[in-house]
Amino acid sequence: MKLTVALLCAAVLTTASACRKKPAPAPVAPQAPAGAAPSGNEAQTADSNASVLTLMLQEYVAKNGRVPKDVSELSSITTYGAVPKPPAGYVFTIDPVQKQVRAVKQ
């Protein structure tokens, strides 16, 4: 009888301790630093940033009544965050007639 109780206690303690084991954490994929330019398709990134800049340009024109000389003047518009930087190999130009920002490959 004592042997049965001892075996039962050993079995309970073994299974109870196994329940507390945590699975190994999943590996985390490395991420680019916060200030780094996004990797991938630069043309798509340039067009996306130009779209945001066009919205900022339209708000700038509505507030100031004029088209800015260059993209850096859009920094006063904070609705959409900071003025995005062009990806490598691109520059942003302002089309004053259509009031749009375009990404131009250098």
**Per-residue pLDDT tens for 59-71?**
999 999 999 999 9
Top-confidence residue, 37 or 91: 91
- Mean pLDDT, rounded, of the chain: 81
- Residue 71's closest CA among 81, 62, 60? 60
Tell me whether residue 18 is in a domain.
Answer: no
Tell me whether residue 2 is in a domain.
Answer: no
| Structural domains in the chain (count) | 1
pLDDT tens digits, 67-105: 999 999 998 888 888 899 999 899 999 999 999 999 999
Which domain, by its residues, includes 76?
A: 40-106
Tell me whether residue 16 is in a domain.
Answer: no
Tell me whether residue 86 is in a domain.
Answer: yes
Tell me whether residue 17 is in a domain.
Answer: no
